[in-house]
Structure 1
């Protein structure tokens, strides 16, 4: 059975529209949560991705849905703030690996704690089961989209 037809496909029922709206609203909240550290939500997302092991700028750009040029400029800003450092890869000198400085790690963790508080506030009326189900469904949707590509 198909999920959509001409009678039930509207913006408020469209997965694409809803995911995009949630994304935009979420990043506006992330911006506010990270503002006192002088970061935007997307800058914090880059820091936390690096913290969790995403050290390749091209992969980071793909994961955060940024083009490589925009990612390079963002890393330039984070490096100028003393939060990120670039190092040539020992095995392949053409590659540049990203890592957090001590200050970058501290800022990323302070923002992480605010982001945890943010999501806990947003999901305050949700049961643990509802939250787990949403996460599982979004992960399933991501896998389906990756396979479809």
Structure 2
């Protein structure tokens, strides 16, 4: 049995629509976390992706951020010019360019992360820890279902 039907559908119960709205509202709400740091949400996301080993090459970073490789290359160029990221040739395969965050980049990423965590903790203040954990589990499950259905495997 299908969950959605033409009769019961509306944007207010659309997973895709709600996910997009949550994302857009989150971006606006996170703006204070980056004030005075001279990084944008996207730049911070790239630093965190690299720090946590999810975007260690341009290709992997583009996948993790959901951007095309050209836009990601320009993003890395900006972060490199500002001394926040370094490109290094891979020792085993010289064709591969690895990314790593500099000390300055890590300091900025971690400062902003603490601000982001404070904002999220405020937004989830009236949620029980169990509810927040369940939400995270559901989102992870949905991500896995979508990756399987779309054939979008995470980059290693």
TM bin, normalised by shorter chain, reads over 0.9
Question: What does 1:128-147 correspond to in 2, within 5 Å?
Answer: 128-147=129-148
> Which aligned runs of 4 or more in structure 1 are off by greater than 6 angstroms?
none
Q: CA deviation at 1:28?
A: 2.2
Q: 1:76 to 1:31 in 2, by over 3 A?
A: farther
- Give RMSD over aligned pairs: 1.0
Q: Is contact 1:56-1:96 (8 Å) kept?
A: yes
TM-score by length of 2: 0.92
CA distance in 2: counterparts of 1:40 and 1:12, whole angstroms: 30
Counterpart of 2:109 in 1: which secondary structure?
A: helix
Give the length in aligned residue pairs.
Answer: 149
TM-score by length of 1: 0.96
Gaps of 5+ in 2: 151-156
Q: CA deviation at 1:59?
A: 1.1
* Alignment-derived partner of residue 14 in structure 1: 14
CA distance in 1: counterparts of 2:103 and 2:95, whole angstroms: 25
Gaps of 5+ in 1: none
* Alignment-derived partner of residue 123 in structure 1: 124
